[in-house]
Structure 1
Protein backbone atom coordinates (compact mmCIF):
# COMPACT_ATOMS: atom_id res chain seq x y z
CA UNK A 1 0.00 0.00 0.00
CA UNK A 2 1.40 3.38 -0.94
CA UNK A 3 0.71 6.70 0.68
CA UNK A 4 -0.64 9.02 -2.00
CA UNK A 5 -0.24 12.65 -1.13
CA UNK A 6 -3.34 14.20 -2.63
CA UNK A 7 -3.99 17.93 -2.15
CA UNK A 8 -6.48 17.20 0.64
CA UNK A 9 -3.99 14.88 2.38
CA UNK A 10 -1.36 17.63 2.01
CA UNK A 11 -3.72 20.02 3.84
CA UNK A 12 -4.07 17.39 6.57
CA UNK A 13 -0.28 17.04 6.82
CA UNK A 14 0.09 20.83 7.05
CA UNK A 15 -2.58 20.83 9.76
CA UNK A 16 -0.54 18.29 11.72
CA UNK A 17 2.42 20.68 11.70
CA UNK A 18 0.17 23.64 12.57
CA UNK A 19 -1.35 21.88 15.60
CA UNK A 20 2.10 20.66 16.64
CA UNK A 21 3.46 24.23 16.53
CA UNK A 22 0.39 25.57 18.35
CA UNK A 23 1.00 23.14 21.19
CA UNK A 24 4.50 24.56 21.64
CA UNK A 25 3.18 28.12 21.55
CA UNK A 26 0.51 27.32 24.14
CA UNK A 27 3.01 25.60 26.47
CA UNK A 28 5.35 28.60 26.12
CA UNK A 29 2.57 31.08 27.02
CA UNK A 30 1.36 28.94 29.91
CA UNK A 31 4.83 28.36 31.34
CA UNK A 32 5.57 32.08 31.14
CA UNK A 33 2.31 32.92 32.95
CA UNK A 34 3.15 30.40 35.66
CA UNK A 35 6.55 31.93 36.37
CA UNK A 36 8.93 29.56 34.58
CA UNK A 37 12.47 30.84 34.19
CA UNK A 38 12.71 29.18 30.77
CA UNK A 39 9.28 29.10 29.09
CA UNK A 40 10.82 28.82 25.61
CA UNK A 41 12.56 25.60 26.62
CA UNK A 42 9.20 24.15 27.71
CA UNK A 43 7.65 25.41 24.47
CA UNK A 44 10.29 23.74 22.32
CA UNK A 45 10.71 20.41 24.11
CA UNK A 46 7.09 19.71 25.09
CA UNK A 47 5.85 19.14 21.51
CA UNK A 48 9.01 17.22 20.60
CA UNK A 49 8.60 14.67 23.37
CA UNK A 50 5.37 13.30 24.71
CA UNK A 51 7.14 12.51 27.98
CA UNK A 52 8.08 16.17 28.50
CA UNK A 53 4.57 17.29 27.54
CA UNK A 54 2.94 14.88 30.00
CA UNK A 55 5.41 15.90 32.72
CA UNK A 56 4.56 19.54 32.08
CA UNK A 57 0.79 19.00 32.04
CA UNK A 58 0.50 16.51 34.90
CA UNK A 59 3.30 17.53 37.25
CA UNK A 60 5.01 20.88 36.63
CA UNK A 61 1.84 22.99 36.16
CA UNK A 62 0.23 21.66 39.32
CA UNK A 63 0.76 23.93 42.28
CA UNK A 64 1.96 26.88 40.21
CA UNK A 65 -0.80 29.49 39.92
CA UNK A 66 -1.01 31.79 36.95
CA UNK A 67 0.35 35.27 37.52
CA UNK A 68 -1.99 36.87 34.97
CA UNK A 69 -5.04 35.84 32.94
CA UNK A 70 -4.61 34.21 29.53
CA UNK A 71 -4.24 36.44 26.49
CA UNK A 72 -6.17 36.12 23.25
CA UNK A 73 -3.14 34.52 21.62
CA UNK A 74 -2.90 31.92 24.36
CA UNK A 75 -6.61 31.15 24.06
CA UNK A 76 -6.29 30.81 20.27
CA UNK A 77 -3.32 28.43 20.57
CA UNK A 78 -5.12 26.33 23.19
CA UNK A 79 -8.23 26.21 21.00
CA UNK A 80 -6.21 24.94 18.03
CA UNK A 81 -4.57 22.26 20.18
CA UNK A 82 -7.85 21.05 21.70
CA UNK A 83 -9.58 21.03 18.30
CA UNK A 84 -6.61 19.22 16.79
CA UNK A 85 -6.66 16.47 19.39
CA UNK A 86 -10.46 16.19 19.23
CA UNK A 87 -10.37 16.12 15.44
CA UNK A 88 -7.66 13.47 15.46
CA UNK A 89 -9.70 11.25 17.78
CA UNK A 90 -12.94 11.77 15.83
CA UNK A 91 -11.17 11.26 12.52
CA UNK A 92 -9.59 8.01 13.63
CA UNK A 93 -13.01 6.74 14.65
CA UNK A 94 -14.79 7.54 11.37
CA UNK A 95 -12.08 6.93 8.75
CA UNK A 96 -10.38 3.77 7.52
CA UNK A 97 -7.15 2.89 9.31
CA UNK A 98 -4.77 4.02 6.58
CA UNK A 99 -2.81 7.29 7.02
CA UNK A 100 -3.95 8.89 3.74
CA UNK A 101 -7.62 8.52 4.68
CA UNK A 102 -7.02 9.87 8.16
CA UNK A 103 -5.13 12.88 6.76
CA UNK A 104 -8.05 13.45 4.39
CA UNK A 105 -10.72 13.29 7.12
CA UNK A 106 -8.80 15.16 9.82
CA UNK A 107 -9.24 18.71 8.44
CA UNK A 108 -13.01 18.19 8.35
CA UNK A 109 -13.19 16.81 11.89
CA UNK A 110 -10.82 19.58 13.05
CA UNK A 111 -13.18 22.21 11.64
CA UNK A 112 -16.15 20.50 13.30
CA UNK A 113 -14.32 20.41 16.64
CA UNK A 114 -13.32 24.10 16.57
CA UNK A 115 -16.57 25.51 18.05
CA UNK A 116 -16.56 22.93 20.85
CA UNK A 117 -12.87 23.54 21.51
CA UNK A 118 -13.44 27.29 21.63
CA UNK A 119 -16.23 26.81 24.17
CA UNK A 120 -14.14 24.44 26.30
CA UNK A 121 -11.05 26.65 26.27
CA UNK A 122 -13.04 29.79 26.95
CA UNK A 123 -14.82 28.13 29.86
CA UNK A 124 -11.71 26.47 31.32
CA UNK A 125 -9.17 29.29 30.92
CA UNK A 126 -11.54 32.01 32.10
CA UNK A 127 -12.32 29.97 35.21
CA UNK A 128 -8.62 29.51 36.03
Structure 2
Protein backbone atom coordinates (compact mmCIF):
# COMPACT_ATOMS: atom_id res chain seq x y z
CA UNK A 1 0.00 0.00 0.00
CA UNK A 2 1.39 3.33 -1.06
CA UNK A 3 0.68 6.52 0.86
CA UNK A 4 0.12 9.18 -1.76
CA UNK A 5 0.42 12.77 -0.67
CA UNK A 6 -2.28 14.44 -2.73
CA UNK A 7 -2.76 18.22 -2.54
CA UNK A 8 -5.78 17.71 -0.29
CA UNK A 9 -3.73 15.54 2.10
CA UNK A 10 -0.92 18.11 1.99
CA UNK A 11 -3.36 20.73 3.30
CA UNK A 12 -4.15 18.39 6.19
CA UNK A 13 -0.45 17.92 6.90
CA UNK A 14 0.14 21.68 6.87
CA UNK A 15 -2.86 22.25 9.13
CA UNK A 16 -1.37 20.13 11.92
CA UNK A 17 1.45 22.55 12.92
CA UNK A 18 -0.95 25.49 12.60
CA UNK A 19 -3.29 23.93 15.15
CA UNK A 20 -0.38 22.95 17.45
CA UNK A 21 1.00 26.50 17.39
CA UNK A 22 -2.46 27.98 17.97
CA UNK A 23 -3.02 25.66 20.94
CA UNK A 24 0.37 26.61 22.40
CA UNK A 25 -0.31 30.31 21.90
CA UNK A 26 -3.72 30.09 23.57
CA UNK A 27 -2.33 28.22 26.58
CA UNK A 28 0.55 30.68 26.83
CA UNK A 29 -1.81 33.69 26.77
CA UNK A 30 -4.28 32.06 29.17
CA UNK A 31 -1.68 30.95 31.70
CA UNK A 32 -0.07 34.41 31.62
CA UNK A 33 -3.46 36.02 32.33
CA UNK A 34 -4.00 33.60 35.22
CA UNK A 35 -0.71 34.51 36.91
CA UNK A 36 1.63 31.69 35.91
CA UNK A 37 5.31 32.30 36.55
CA UNK A 38 6.24 30.30 33.43
CA UNK A 39 3.53 30.63 30.75
CA UNK A 40 5.99 29.69 28.00
CA UNK A 41 6.56 26.30 29.60
CA UNK A 42 2.82 25.66 29.61
CA UNK A 43 2.59 26.86 26.02
CA UNK A 44 5.31 24.50 24.81
CA UNK A 45 4.59 21.34 26.77
CA UNK A 46 0.77 21.29 26.78
CA UNK A 47 0.36 20.82 23.00
CA UNK A 48 3.13 18.20 22.94
CA UNK A 49 1.75 16.12 25.80
CA UNK A 50 -1.89 15.27 26.21
CA UNK A 51 -1.33 14.62 29.92
CA UNK A 52 0.01 18.14 30.50
CA UNK A 53 -2.84 19.59 28.42
CA UNK A 54 -5.50 17.75 30.42
CA UNK A 55 -3.80 18.72 33.70
CA UNK A 56 -3.73 22.37 32.63
CA UNK A 57 -7.35 22.45 31.44
CA UNK A 58 -8.91 20.39 34.23
CA UNK A 59 -6.82 21.12 37.30
CA UNK A 60 -4.38 24.07 37.10
CA UNK A 61 -6.64 26.65 35.50
CA UNK A 62 -9.71 25.86 37.62
CA UNK A 63 -8.78 27.76 40.80
CA UNK A 64 -7.16 30.78 39.17
CA UNK A 65 -9.08 33.79 37.94
CA UNK A 66 -7.96 35.94 35.03
CA UNK A 67 -6.22 39.23 35.72
CA UNK A 68 -7.48 40.77 32.47
CA UNK A 69 -9.92 39.82 29.68
CA UNK A 70 -8.76 37.81 26.67
CA UNK A 71 -7.17 39.72 23.83
CA UNK A 72 -8.01 39.38 20.15
CA UNK A 73 -4.94 37.17 19.60
CA UNK A 74 -5.92 34.91 22.47
CA UNK A 75 -9.48 34.49 21.19
CA UNK A 76 -8.23 33.87 17.64
CA UNK A 77 -5.75 31.22 18.74
CA UNK A 78 -8.37 29.58 20.96
CA UNK A 79 -10.81 29.49 18.03
CA UNK A 80 -8.26 27.81 15.75
CA UNK A 81 -7.29 25.33 18.48
CA UNK A 82 -10.90 24.38 19.28
CA UNK A 83 -11.81 24.08 15.59
CA UNK A 84 -8.68 22.01 14.94
CA UNK A 85 -9.36 19.55 17.72
CA UNK A 86 -13.08 19.42 16.91
CA UNK A 87 -12.33 18.92 13.22
CA UNK A 88 -9.87 16.16 14.03
CA UNK A 89 -12.46 14.33 16.14
CA UNK A 90 -15.25 14.85 13.60
CA UNK A 91 -12.99 13.85 10.71
CA UNK A 92 -11.91 10.66 12.43
CA UNK A 93 -15.54 9.74 13.05
CA UNK A 94 -16.73 10.20 9.46
CA UNK A 95 -13.71 9.05 7.47
CA UNK A 96 -12.33 5.54 6.98
CA UNK A 97 -9.56 4.46 9.37
CA UNK A 98 -6.94 5.32 6.77
CA UNK A 99 -4.51 8.11 7.76
CA UNK A 100 -4.52 9.67 4.29
CA UNK A 101 -8.32 9.73 4.19
CA UNK A 102 -8.38 11.38 7.58
CA UNK A 103 -5.87 14.01 6.39
CA UNK A 104 -8.16 14.74 3.44
CA UNK A 105 -11.31 15.03 5.59
CA UNK A 106 -9.71 17.03 8.43
CA UNK A 107 -9.43 20.41 6.63
CA UNK A 108 -13.08 20.19 5.57
CA UNK A 109 -14.18 19.30 9.09
CA UNK A 110 -11.93 22.10 10.43
CA UNK A 111 -13.63 24.63 8.16
CA UNK A 112 -17.05 23.37 9.27
CA UNK A 113 -16.04 23.61 12.94
CA UNK A 114 -14.70 27.18 12.71
CA UNK A 115 -18.08 28.95 13.13
CA UNK A 116 -18.98 26.70 16.06
CA UNK A 117 -15.56 27.23 17.65
CA UNK A 118 -15.89 30.99 17.20
CA UNK A 119 -19.27 30.90 18.95
CA UNK A 120 -17.93 28.74 21.79
CA UNK A 121 -14.89 30.97 22.35
CA UNK A 122 -16.93 34.16 22.12
CA UNK A 123 -19.38 32.90 24.74
CA UNK A 124 -16.53 31.76 26.95
CA UNK A 125 -17.86 28.25 27.42
TM range (shorter): over 0.9
User: Pairwise CA RMSD of aligned residues?
Assistant: 1.0
**1:100 equivalent in structure 2:** 100
Runs of 4+ aligned structure 1 residues displaced above 2 Å come to none
Deviation, 1:115, is: 0.4
Per-residue CA deviations over 1:39-61 (Å, capped at 9, x if unaligned) read: 01110111111111111111110
- Matched residues in 2 for 1:13 and 1:94: separation? 18
Count of matched residue pairs: 125
Deviation, 1:62, is: 1.1
- Matched residues in 1 for 2:53 and 2:93: separation? 24
Per-residue CA deviations over 1:78-120 (Å, capped at 9, x if unaligned) read: 0001111111111111111100000001101100110011001
**2:65 equivalent in structure 1:** 65
- Matched residues in 2 for 1:90 and 1:55: separation? 23
**2:124 equivalent in structure 1:** 124
Structure 2 spans left out of the alignment, 5+ residues: none
- TM-score, with structure 1 as normaliser: 0.94
- Matched residues in 2 for 1:63 and 1:91: separation? 33
- Matched residues in 1 for 2:93 and 2:50: separation? 22
- Matched residues in 2 for 1:38 and 1:72: separation? 21
**2:5 equivalent in structure 1:** 5
- Matched residues in 2 for 1:118 and 1:80: separation? 8
